[in-house]
Copies of this chain bind each other. A is one copy, B any other.
């Protein structure tokens, strides 16, 4: 079955990604035009992708999403096998983010978006009790799902074991940790950072296997950060350390 992508920015992103195939684009007749629509048509023409103007009624079944008059049909996102990822050669160290129970597709999309901005190598998702890639995730990621390896695993425990065997350090975010997230030195190692579900955090078995546990300091006795924001804070701490460590001006 085909997936679809909705929204003007998102469809533009997919069209720009030459690794991604698009089978067809639907545009709503009589909608407000914009330079974005011109751009979409131009990209579709350049790539030889069919686009059709169709009556408003054809969009009725997409009424629950903010399609802005544009839908692209695409093959489902290809998940990468963890073994393939581990075997892949890279100059420098690999950086991975793992979600363990992030069920809100907006949060998952948002985490993937930050991971791409930060130059991470992969996102690992368990196949159960976690959002998987769908149109909402893709939209929330602003198209970022097409710019990073997405690995889906049936057992997160086995995946963590496999990463540890392959010289990755496992770093778990946990509200009860002793160390703050900025107390860890993220340089000169392969690492995977795990974010847990908003409700229950990271599962105990995974927590046990982790090499480091980190927390984010909180004030005002206020419950907790949104998981996508928390992920961004930790991810960018690693970016900062990498930049400062390399002495590069970015």
Question: Which A residues lie at the B interface, using CB under 8 A?
Answer: 106, 110, 113-114, 116-119, 142, 144, 147, 180, 182, 216-220, 222-226, 228-230, 232-233, 236-237, 239-240, 243-244, 250
B113, B217, B232: the one contacting A233 at CB < 8 Å is: B232
Complex contact A240–B117 (CB within 8 A): no
A151 to B: closest C-beta gap in Å? 18
Residue of B nearest to A144 (CB): B222
A-B residue pairs in contact (CB < 8 Å), sample of 24:
A110-B229, A113-B222, A113-B226, A116-B219, A116-B220, A117-B218, A117-B219, A117-B222, A117-B225, A118-B219, A119-B219, A142-B223, A142-B224, A147-B220, A180-B243, A182-B240, A216-B236, A217-B239, A228-B228, A229-B232, A230-B232, A232-B233, A233-B236, A237-B240
Complex contact B250–A220 (CB within 8 A): no
A147 to B: closest C-beta gap in Å? 6
B217, B220, B224, B229: the one contacting A243 at CB < 8 Å is: B217
The complex places the Cα of A65 from the Cα of B180 at a distance, in Å, of 36
Complex contact A250–B117 (CB within 8 A): no
A181 to B: closest C-beta gap in Å? 8
B223, B232, B244: the one contacting A225 at CB < 8 Å is: B232
Residue of B nearest to A229 (CB): B232
Residue of B nearest to A242 (CB): B217
